[in-house]
Amino acid sequence: MALTNLKEAAGASRFTAGWLLEQNPEEIKTWIRPSGFFNQKTPRLFALAHWFVSHGEDTQRLHSMPLDDLRSELLAIKGVGPETCDSIVLYAAQKPVFLIDAYTRRLLLRLGYEVPRSYESLRANLEQLVKDARPYEDNEVNLGTSSELCWLQEAHALIVEHCKNNCRKKPLCSNCSLFSCQARI
């Protein structure tokens, strides 16, 4: 709803980081109120918008940045944690990272995997697994994709969808296709 409010305020074609920086912070707070923590999020949105404007508001420029440099810059912005950083890296900058969120952790734990507390450790472990197994090259598990980037994007989307529908806080294990697959292994 907050994103819809911002887009409506800007007009769909004008909703840019530059536009955001021209707005009164009090207006921004009103528009993003539905997201919660609007007093805290407003200056963080401005900080991220400043960073993006400093990069010419050009996602192609982000595509050309080395992954470690891009992650370091994003993580240095107040309010951008690893999950937000990797969301930007995976979807906007189109770089292959394994995006870890609460859904990913929940799913792995319920499937019986040991999940490190550290975001970076879990991300590194899963990325290594993808690099070694190369599931995007396997016709049976490629999720309809042919590249690591597309596979990581689709895998994240499927994890989110699965957890919203089945692996909820109160799980619906009787409907879980993964649970039934694991029982056969």
DSSP 74-142: HHTSTT--HHHHHHIIIIIS--------HHHHHHHHHTT----S-HHHHHHHHHHHHHHH-GGG-TTTS
Identify the pLDDT of residue 183. 47
pLDDT of residue 185: 42
**Residue numbers of the chain with a pLDDT score lower than 70:** 139-145, 179-185
Query: What pTM does this model have?
Result: 0.86
